[in-house]
Chains A and B, each alone.
Chain A
Amino acid sequence: MYSAHYGAFKSGVAIICLFAVALSICFVFSCAKKTEEIRVGEFGSLTGTTATFGISTKNAIDLAIEEANAAGGIEGKLIKVIVEDDQSKPEEAATAVRKLIEQDRVVAVLGEVSSSRSLAGAPICQNAKIPMITPSSTNPKVTQVGDYIFRVCFTDPFQGMVAARFGHDSLEARDAAILRDIRNDYSVGLADFFIQTFTSQGGRIVSDESYSEGDIDFKAQLTAIKAKSPHVIFVPGYYTEVGLIARQARELGIDVPLLGGDGWVSDRLIEIGGEALNGCYFVNPYWEHDPDPAVQNFVTSYRERFGGNPDGMAALAYDAGRFLVAGLKKLASEEPEAFAAILGLPRPETKELRKEAIAKLRDIFASTEDFPGITGSITIDENRNAVKPAIFLTIEDRQYKFVGKVLP
């Protein structure tokens, strides 16, 4: 008889205790700072398997924001970037974005590089009506999540098509093999788009194998691919696995070139792949030796600030940061009241105005045209994607070499 009370009592006690704990912590948190900064969030993979993505992105965004702040900020107000690490894991990305929006109360979110992790964070931004700008996620699904999600890079349909054309026309391949990362939206999507164009040009896909991010042994899949004698192997994965795949492919006696997408972009690619990568090609968002002064200024500033050359992810992140700054500037000059509402932490009296202001910021992003980025001119189309050129690089003797630029 008493056991019903018992169970209810126990959970009652538990809940009341938790409530008390919560209240007391609440007090501590309520003594929050009320500064007049513009709070912007960033989530990225600062640690984990694709750490260079996150680190390059963070560095470049820091650079862009520092430059903006040094030039007087936005109408004198400084931008503060709050960074969260998602450890290269999609579920952590969701948690990180939640924290940025609900606890840090940011007005916009920058991130992520990986499409999987962007896809984890985007629905949260969309539901909270906070604009999200991804610098390098190329999977089309990311911006399809909703009208608050933007990107400043090209998309995989374009990238896949361009890679297929390159393989077919420039490398004269007729038989291609695919080795994709099955755990990765980006990889799977890009592979599909490649196949679409390649087959429409009359090419044949002779082998379609897969691996999982984190694998270290690909010999089984590569042996199966070798048996089909492709002319080129399309490896739309991330640099960590690509490097190992290249090595093991050469060890198995596979001589044909490997072709890849922007997931290869990392300063560690050559370190991991070494000589095995000679004669391989991949897509890059920009070329660091581009004589354009804007590009060179960026490269020099980055090198001075962080040492080492900025990779494609850094370039895109820099553009994303500047894109955000430009949007904020426009808001400040056209709607000063709205701009005032998004400063600092939300206050009860300006809650509605803040929401409207953020919506206006979103509209500004959506209507951007010809924004001068170092990765190309950014015009946001009706799907909130940017239309950008793709650059092909090859590797020779552990150095990158420019091959060509493909305009959209």
Chain B
Amino acid sequence: MQEFLQQLVNGITWGSIYALIALGYTMVYGILRLINFAHGDVYMVGAFTAYFAARLFGAPGPVSLFAAVLVLLLAMAVSSLLGVVIERGAYKPLRKSPRLTMLITAIGVSLLLENLGLIVFGADPKFFPQIVAPRQIELGVGVLVSSHQIIVLSVSVLLMVALQVVVLKTKIGKAMRAVSFHREASSLMGISTDNVITFTFAVGSALAAAAGVLVALSNPKIDPLMGIMPGLKAFVAAVLGGIGNIPGAMLGGLIMGISEVMVVGYISSTYRDAIAFALLIIILLVKPTGLMGTGMGEKV
């Protein structure tokens, strides 16, 4: 029982990471019907930015809490900027093109970021400094949770709640929902679709960066290709929950994280990556709109 609970804690931690990344995917898809393959790499850039920022602030020596928060914010800001640049540079010129073209471009951007990362950062993994000291906290029943895991969970929840507030309660959030629903009609209503799209990218990228920093903190090995697998899995999570649906992305992320950990813990670790794709195929065959998604008919 204790083992199961511990695995559950592990799974929920990973699930929140996947959820953070999935949110970016789902928002961009909702607004542009584009699978932003480069999203996983934005997550990677976030982790690396944090790495360099942390070193700037004196790591591997002791780093103040204030500096640690600053590292996170800096990573989020840089990734936001990157997201905006990608959107304006690579996706905007293709808004009128067939979706396949945009998809291929997204793949291209992803490859570009990864290989630039390999050149600039080097292929050898870097070790992210422990800017927050790890401590174990007993949850009772022998289940241990590390301070890192708690930080991951709390920051994720905080960001997700913030996102929901923005999307549901603010004007820009309303604009985002409108543009997701129908782009042309929204622009007819006076919404600057370009700005909304850019804003969506910025927010999504910031969340991915946060995920990157959190992962770097709790699993300190970072390398330029670290974003590929989590990116794909987060996408699967988004689809699982219903792509375009924000709470769906969170749910999908959780399910993804927990399934993965359970499979690795109770069956075999070699299937770790395959479980994501197996889930994807199952959901696409059984309920393609995802757990919380709504179907949209195809007009001829």
> What's the Cα separation between A274 and B264 when bound, in Å?
26
From B10, B122, B270, A219 is in contact (CB under 8 Å) with B10
Evaluate contact between A216 and B3: CB separation under 8 angstroms.
no
B144: interface (CB < 8 Å):
yes
Extra 6 A-B pairs, beta carbons < 8 Å, given A220-B261, A226-B6:
A51-B123, A87-B123, A209-B269, A224-B3, A251-B148, A252-B6
Count of residues in B whose CB is under 8 Å from the partner chain: 33
Interface: A70 (CB within 8 A):
no
- The smallest C-beta distance from B287 to any residue of chain A, in angstroms, reads 27
Q: Which of A20-75 contact B (CB under 8 A)?
A: 47-49, 51
- In the complex, which residues 218-250 of chain B have their Cβ closer than 8 Å to any Cβ of chain A? 219-221, 223, 226
Closest Cβ of chain A to B226, distance in Å, is: 8
For chain A residues 254-270, which have a beta carbon within 8 Å of chain B? 268
- With both chains docked as a complex, state the minimum distance between the C-beta of B153 and any C-beta of chain A, in angstroms: 14
- The answer to whether A223 touches B10 (Cβ under 8 A) is yes
* Cα separation A219 to B10 with both chains bound (whole Å): 7
Residues of A267-294 at the interface with B, using a CB-CB cut-off of 8 Å, are 268, 271-272, 274
Listed by A's residue number, 21 A-B pairs whose Cβ atoms lie within 8 Å are A47-B123, A48-B123, A51-B123, A210-B269, A215-B272, A216-B221, A219-B10, A220-B10, A220-B264, A223-B3, A223-B6, A224-B265, A224-B266, A226-B6, A240-B221, A247-B220, A251-B134, A251-B146, A253-B136, A271-B127, A274-B130
The total of chain A residues at the interface (CB under 8 A) is 32
Q: Knowing A220-B7, A227-B2, A253-B144 touch, does A47 contact B122 (C-beta < 8 A)? A: yes
| B61 touches A (CB below 8 Å) | no
Minimum Cβ distance to chain B for residue A378 (Å):
31
Contacts of B215 in A (CB 8 A): 216
| Chain A residues with CB below 8 A from B219, complex form | 216-217, 244, 248
Contacts of A402 in B (CB 8 A): none
Within the complex, the shortest CB–CB distance from A117 to chain B, in Å, comes to 15
Q: Are A251 and B266 in contact (CB under 8 A)?
A: no
Q: Is B268 an interface residue (CB 8 A)?
A: yes
Which B residues between 90 and 127 are near A, CB-CB below 8 angstroms? Answer: 122-125, 127
- Interface flags for B134-158 (1: CB within 8 Å of A; 0: not) read 1010000010101010000000000
- Establish whether residues B3 and A221, one from each chain, have CB atoms under 8 Å apart when the complex forms: no
Bound-state CA distance A248–B144 (Å) is 11
A182 close to chain B: CB less than 8 A: yes
Q: Are A217 and B221 in contact (CB under 8 A)?
A: no
Q: Which of B6, B127, B136, B269 contacts A211 (CB 8 A)?
A: B269
